[in-house]
Structure 1
Amino acid sequence: MTEEDHPQPVRAQLDHYCERSALFARPGFLIRRLHQIHTWLFTEETQQYNVTPVQYSLLTVLAEHGEMDQNTLAYEVGLERTSVAEVLPRLEARGLVERRQSDADRRVKLVRIARKGRALAKRMDGAAQRAHDRTIAYLPESERERFMLQLIQLVESHNDTSVVPWKLR
C-alpha cells in the first residue's frame, strides 16, 4: 500500500506539526534547517580534516572528473562562480588542488585535484558518508531511497528552469 491509499494519517501528522509552528508548512524553512543539521553532522564527523562540505564537494568532483575550468566546476557543484573562486585559493594554499591558466584561453583558470587532495578526499569518504547517513537516519530504512530520489527530482526539476542561476548537470 502507498500513502495515497491512506492519506489521512500523513495529513494528520502534517497538521499536528503545522499547529506547533507555521514554519513546518514551509519547504524552504525545512530544507534550510536540514542543511544546517547536515552541516553540523558533517563538521562533527570530519572535524579532524578541517574541510567544509563545499570544499569536500569540490574535491569529490575534481577526483571524479579530472581537470576542468572553474566555471564548469562551479556548475558541477551547484555553486556560484564567485563562491568557487573564493574557496579554491584556500584549497590551493593547502596543496589540495592545483590551478593554472588555460593554454587555449588565458582568461580561463583550470583546476585539478592534487595528489594530496585526492588522498585527503579518500581518507574523508567514510566520515563524510557517516554524516550523510546520520542526516537521514531518522527516516525508516524503507523510505530512505525514496527520499533521496525525491530530493534528486526536486533538484533536477529546478535545473531545467531559469529560476536557479547555477545548476547541477
Structure 2
Amino acid sequence: MPRKKTATLTQPIVPLTSRPGFLIRRLNQIHYAIFFEECRDFNITPVQYGMLTALSVAPGLDQKALGLAVGLDRTNTADVLKRLEERGLVTRQQSETDGRVKHAFITAEGLQITNAMYAAMISAQQRLLAPLSEEDRAKFLELLHVLVDSNNEFGRASMKAL
C-alpha cells in the first residue's frame, strides 16, 4: 500500500498566542461569555445592547446610519432590528420623504431595559478589564482605538461614531 504524502510547512510556525488576530478573537469570546453571565436576566446580546444604546442617544436613525454607528453591515443591522422590533424594544417607521428609508426608534420598553441593563453591562466591562491596572486599562483602550480607527476601512462594515 503506497504511503500517503503529507504536506510540510515551508515557513516557521507562529504560535497562535503570538498572533494578534487570534488573541483579539479569543478576547471577544471571553467578553461575550462575561457579558452573557452578567446580563443573563435580560436576554440581550452585546450587539443588541449597542444598538439600543445608539438609538437611545440618537433616536430616528435610519438603518444605514445605525449600522455605521455600531459597525454592522446592512443585512446584520436589519436582522438585529427585526429581532428587537419583535420584542417590542424598537419600532421602525417609513421616512416621510423617501419610501425606501426606515427610521428606527427605541420604545419605552427598550429604554427601560437599556437602563436596567446598564449596571450589569458596566460590571461585565469591569470584569473583563479587572486583570489590568487603571493605568494599563487606559492605555489598552487607547491602543484599541488606534487599531480600530486605523483599520476601520477593512471591516465588513465601517464604523462612524455618532
Q: Give the RMSD, CA atoms, in angstroms.
A: 1.2
Counterpart of 1:117, as a letter, is G
- Other-structure match for 1:39: 32
Name the CA distance, whole Å, in 2 between partners of 1:124 and 1:143.
Answer: 26
Name the CA distance, whole Å, in 2 between partners of 1:157 and 1:149.
Answer: 12
Select the structure that is richer in helix: 1
- Other-structure match for 1:166: 157
Which deviations, in whole Å up to 9, do the C-alpha atoms of 1:18-75 show, x marking residues without a partner? xxx8011110000000000000000000010010001000000000111110011011
Counterpart of 2:75, as a letter, is T
Name the CA distance, whole Å, in 2 between partners of 1:113 and 1:128.
Answer: 18
Deviation of the 1:165 alpha carbon: 3.9
Counterpart of 1:164, as a letter, is G
Instruction: Tell me, yes or no, if structure 1 residue 87 matches structure 2 residue 84.
Output: no
Correspondence 1:68-147 to 2 at 5 A: 68-147=61-140
Between the two proteins, the alignment pairs up a number of residues equal to 147
- Check the 8 A contact 2:72/2:156 in 1, yes or no: no
Name the CA distance, whole Å, in 1 between partners of 2:58 and 2:93.
Answer: 17
Name the CA distance, whole Å, in 2 between partners of 1:140 and 1:126.
Answer: 21
* Structure 1 unaligned regions, length at least 5: 1-20
SS in structure 2 opposite 1:107?
coil
Name the CA distance, whole Å, in 1 between partners of 2:34 and 2:63.
Answer: 28
TM-score, length-scaled by structure 2? 0.87
State the structure with more CA Rg. Answer: 2
- Other-structure match for 1:149: 142
TM-score, length-scaled by structure 1? 0.84
Name the CA distance, whole Å, in 1 between partners of 2:151 and 2:21.
Answer: 14
* Structure 2 unaligned regions, length at least 5: 1-13
Counterpart of 1:133, as a letter, is Q
Deviation of the 1:78 alpha carbon: 0.4
SS in structure 2 opposite 1:100?
strand
Name the CA distance, whole Å, in 2 between partners of 1:164 and 1:39.
Answer: 20
Name the CA distance, whole Å, in 1 between partners of 2:127 and 2:24.
Answer: 16
